[in-house]
Chains A and B, each alone.
Chain A
Amino acid sequence: EVQLVESGGGLVQPGGSLRLSCAASGFTFSTYHMGWVRQAPGKGLEWVANISPSAGALYYVESVRGRFTISRDDAKGSVYLQMNSLRVEDAAAYYCVRDGGQLDYWGQGTLVTVSS
């Protein structure tokens, strides 16, 4: 059974940093693109970032490029999202997804709150 379990969310001040983690299991992690999708409170879904197998290619939505970094550790079956220079508008539930362009599996989400 495929499982994606996020962690690392919390309260951070504007300008601060946070690192989200996603532990994957139930599939051959190293062969899949992985990604992150976020959802601000009461709002719709926004795709955030994607990392290809072997981290050969990285993709970001424009609003986070230069501030967020996606990475992976195939030995640990984990994907990460390092978020720097956080803004109030980055506050959202962040979902880890298996992302081969079709987002077939989602985690339960981890909540990021950005407030002073």
Chain B
Amino acid sequence: DVVMTQSPLSLPVTLGQPASISCRSSQGLVFSDGNTYLSWFQQRPGQSPRRLIYKASERDSGVPDRFSGSGSGTDFTLKISRVESEDIGVYYCMQGSHWPHTFGQGTRLEIK
């Protein structure tokens, strides 16, 4: 199975400051169709996960533009340009290029 490793696992951030989460895969994530199926999800307390980013860098409709995804191969990053209070929660990366799909451990974003 492809192992997804996130860091850090806990991320204390000051409101208005940037935040960055790393996600590394144990294998390359380019699918046979040429796409890289790496997604990022946000899970607020008590809620279902919500997808933010797909294909490594495509932002979902309705997601604030302060969220951005980048990376290729085995190294990927989620960045928040200026953290707001509504961004509190746990963030997960997930690869959908190989079976079984696998998630990272999750990164808990908290306010300092």
A residues within 8 Å of B by Cβ? 35, 37, 44-47, 50, 59-62, 95, 99-104, 106-109
Interface size class of B (residues with CB under 8 A): 20 to 34
Q: Are B55 and A102 in contact (CB under 8 A)?
A: yes
Nearest-neighbor residue (CB-CB) of B95 within chain A:
A101
Across chains A and B, which 5 residue pairs bring their CB atoms closest together, nearest first? A101-B96, A47-B101, A101-B37, A44-B106, A45-B103
| B20, CB-defined interface residue at 8 Å | no
Tell me whether chain A's interface is mostly helix, strand or loop, or mixed. Answer: loop
Nearest-neighbor residue (CB-CB) of A43 within chain B:
B106
Partner of B100, one of A45, A61, A103: A61
Chain A residues with CB below 8 A from B101, complex form = 35, 47, 50, 99, 101, 103
- 25 A-B pairs with C-beta separation under 8 A: A35-B101, A44-B90, A44-B92, A44-B104, A44-B106, A45-B41, A45-B43, A45-B49, A45-B103, A47-B101, A50-B99, A61-B100, A62-B100, A95-B49, A101-B97, A102-B39, A102-B55, A103-B49, A103-B96, A104-B51, A104-B54, A106-B49, A106-B50, A106-B51, A107-B48
| B72, CB-defined interface residue at 8 Å | no
Nearest-neighbor residue (CB-CB) of B38 within chain A:
A102
| B94, CB-defined interface residue at 8 Å | yes
Chain A residues with CB below 8 A from B97, complex form = 101
Q: Are A102 and B96 in contact (CB under 8 A)?
A: yes
**A-facing mask of B22-59, CB < 8 A → 1, else 0?**
00000000010000010101010000111100110000
B29 to chain A, nearest CB (A): 10
Q: Within B81-112, which residues are at the interface with A (CB < 8 Å)?
A: 90, 92, 94, 96-97, 99-106
